Amino acid sequence: MSLLIVAYLGGVLTILSPCILPVLPFVFARAGRPFVSSTLPMLGGMAIMFASVATLAAVGGNWAVHVNEYGRYAAIALLALFGVTLISSRAAAILTVPIIAFGNRLLNGSGSGKPGKGESSGKSFVLGVATGLLWAPCAGPILGLVLTGAALQGANVETTLLLLAYSAGAATSLAVALLVGGRVFAVMKQSLGAGEWVRRGLGAAVLTGVAAIALGLDTGVLARLSILGTTTIEQSLLDRFKTEPKTSSVEVAGNSMFLAADDARQGFSSGLPVEGQFPSLDGAVEWLNSPPLTSEQLRGKVVLVNFWTYSCINCIRTVPYVRAWAEKYKDQGLVVIGVHSPEFAFEKKIDNVKDAIEDFKIGYPVAIDNDFKIWRAFQNSYWPAHYLIDAKGQVRHHHFGEGDYAQSEKVIQDLLAEAGALNTENAMVKPDSAGAEIAPDLGNIRSSETYIGYQRASNFTSPEGLNADVAQNYTVAEPGLNEWGLTGRWTVAAERGTLNQSGGGITYRFSARDLHLVLGPNTNGDPVRFQVTVDGKPPGENHGADVDRNGIGTVKETRLYQLVRQAGKVSERTFEIRFLDPGVEAFVFTFG
């Protein structure tokens, strides 16, 4: 019995929580109506619908989430119409007659006639159901305890009773507030013309509440404000009832709920949507740093799936963060999986990937997805792409490309808290990045990714034109911004250009802080020496991580090479690279 009392009192306290604000206008719009035939059915409908939706959300699958979403959309439309009929009968007249009639019936004639005359309990109940679909109370310790226990034990009588007790407590506090508000509105309506303005004000408040819910403010901004609200009071109630002996079946259920609440930061809920179920990890040709993993094996863990390919500059710049997250949160239940899906043919060579993993100091599991089976299972289209899966095996968040690292880490922390992590820290990682891993200078990038292979080549300026799959002597004059050309004898294939004789090179006019070029040695694996110049001179302090101040470097493996990093003011430069040995393979320019 004690846990039912705690749940009821937790519901009563919702009137003090910011998350109740968006639904208050829906309730107060019924002020002045008969309590038994109007207020009570509305609050009853709200309580029953909230308890039903909360039960489905806690114990149901992804289908329940989608059903609830559609219900919310319908409720938002219905209550928006309700607000319009309150504000202006002229605006309502623009709507179709059947919809106006339905909205007016819900409102009992939009305020026309005497309150209570012809009042229908069914109409009030429908409004209550719509409100219950939209109400998202702030996740305090008591609600967290109830929902966590429901998820652990499944649908049963105890779960339903606890959720009904919570929603009944909320309905009680709203009924008290409505009785007080009704008296205030009654006094205001005694003034000439005040009743019409009260009705319009309530309509505006209803539409504001609808907008707040549609924009997610009830589960976002207001939920965060609630941390300073009722949490302390709720926790003291839990602590008091927790020490009492328990005998009934409901109380026995409560024991496991109290334990779950302790282990899940008092039932913390992130409010993140469910985007789908954890897709299959089957299809990798090999796993590195780990035996093969399955989505079923990972149930109970928070999982970050990172799609990457080792020569992609955007992927390289995310590696320090992914690596830091894997290290920081591994003991709290986070599993990071790198899914290596190759862009170029050389990235399918597992030895190349092994070398890259060693260079990047990656210790987490990496699935070699050469056949793109995992890629297709996730319906992915991007490098890099991050998918975050909760402990229930549900995709809760995704991010494509670089950046937003703080947001991604906050999602990791929230999902770990949902899963019961005890030591989740709020501080964000600050990884040590060097060379090409350093974040780009976005304010000064005027050049973009440029491919050498004819399949995706652009802005090629050598007068001979790009000849596919045949050896050709090329020359280049002065390229314009973002134009490039070849010098010497090259064979250009779909993905790459191959230098047939030593002494050839590439010229590119660019504007960015960093210039990178993906290069590989000759087919025998012999190293290829090269020299870089910037505006016809050795780069000096503008040299990249893979060359010295004189521009000297060597291609030893197929990967991305950072050749230029402008140390001072970023401006347009003419980059030239000349290869002292034959056989080099060139793939793509990128910038940072």
Structure tokens, 580: 């002292």
- Please tell me whether the peptide bond between 384 and the residue prior to it is cis, using omega within 30 degrees of 0: yes
Q: With 0-12 CB in 10 A as exposed, 13-18 as middle and 19+ as buried, what is 122?
A: exposed
Q: Once rounded to an integer, what is the mean pLDDT over residues 14-29?
A: 62
Asked if residue 374 lies in contact with residue 280, where contact means CB atoms within 8 angstroms, the answer is yes
Q: Considering just the CA atoms, what is the radius of gyration of the chain in Å?
A: 32
| The pLDDT of residue 535 is above 70 | yes
Q: Once rounded to an integer, what is the mean pLDDT over residues 558-578?
A: 95
Q: What are the backbone dihedrals phi and psi of residue 306, each rounded to the nearest 5 degrees, phi first?
A: -115, 110
Q: How confident is the model at residue 377 (pLDDT cuts 50, 70, 90)?
A: very high
Contacts of 535 (CB under 8 A, 6+ apart): 573, 574
Task: Say how far residue 536 (Cα) sits from the centre of its chain.
Answer: 46
| The pLDDT of residue 280 is above 90 | yes
Task: Say how far residue 438 (Cα) sits from the centre of its chain.
Answer: 23
| The pLDDT of residue 140 is above 90 | no
Q: How confident is the model at residue 500 (pLDDT cuts 50, 70, 90)?
A: very high
Q: How confident is the model at residue 59 (pLDDT cuts 50, 70, 90)?
A: very low
Q: Report how far residue 556's alpha carbon sits from residue 553's, in angstroms, rounded to the nearest whole number.
A: 10
| The pLDDT of residue 56 is above 50 | yes
Lowest mean pLDDT: which of 109-113, 352-356, 376-380? 109-113
Q: Mean pLDDT, the chain, as a whole number? A: 77
Residue 409 pLDDT: 92
Supply the DSSP string of 49-93, one letter for each residue.
HHHHHHHHHHH--HHHHHHHHHHHHHHHHHHHHHHHHHH-HHHHH
Task: Say how far residue 445 (Cα) sits from the centre of its chain.
Answer: 27
Residue 421 pLDDT: 74
Q: Once rounded to an integer, what is the mean pLDDT over residues 287-303?
A: 94
pLDDT tens-place string over residues 187-245 = 555 554 444 555 566 566 656 766 765 665 544 444 334 434 444 555 455 555 543 33
Residue 185 pLDDT: 55
Q: Report how far residue 577's alpha carbon sits from residue 225's, in angstroms, rounded to the nearest whole number.
A: 57
Q: Once rounded to an integer, what is the mean pLDDT over residues 481-506?
A: 96
Confirm whether 276-436 and 442-591 share one CATH topology.
no
Contacts of 506 (CB under 8 A, 6+ apart): 452, 484, 485, 486, 487, 497, 517, 576, 577, 586
Q: How confident is the model at residue 430 (pLDDT cuts 50, 70, 90)?
A: confident
Closest CA to 587 of 504, 477, 492: 492
Question: SS3 of 504, please?
Answer: coil
Its CATH architecture, for the domain 442-591, is Sandwich (2.60)
| The pLDDT of residue 388 is above 90 | yes
Task: Say how far residue 254 (Cα) sits from the centre of its chain.
Answer: 33
Residue 334 pLDDT: 94
Amino acid at the residue 136: A
pLDDT tens-place string over residues 303-328 = 999 999 999 999 999 999 999 999 99
Which tops the pLDDT comparison, 194 or 56?
Answer: 56
Residue 529 pLDDT: 97
CATH superfamily of 276-436: Glutaredoxin (3.40.30.10)
Contacts of 355 (CB under 8 A, 6+ apart): 557, 559
Q: Report how far residue 23's alpha carbon sits from residue 17's, in angstroms, rounded to the nearest whole number.
A: 12
Structure tokens, 238: 């839990």
Q: Once rounded to an integer, what is the mean pLDDT over residues 402-409?
A: 90
Bridge-based pairing of strands 385-389 and 366-368 is unpaired
Residue 364 pLDDT: 96
| The pLDDT of residue 266 is above 80 | no
Question: SS3 of 33, please?
Answer: coil
Dihedral sign, CA of 359, 588, 441, 324?
Answer: negative
pTM assigned to the model = 0.51
Supply the DSSP string of 227-289, one letter for each residue.
GGTTHHHHHHHHHHHHTS---SHHHHHHHHHHHHHHHTTTT----PPP-EE----TT-SEEES
pLDDT tens-place string over residues 456-493 = 999 999 999 999 999 999 999 889 999 999 999 999 99
Which tops the pLDDT comparison, 95 or 259?
Answer: 95
The residue extents of the domains of the chain are 2-263, 276-436, 442-591
Residue 48 pLDDT: 84
550 torsion bin: left (phi>0), alpha (psi -120 to 50), beta (else): alpha
Asked if residue 120 lies in contact with residue 107, where contact means CB atoms within 8 angstroms, the answer is no
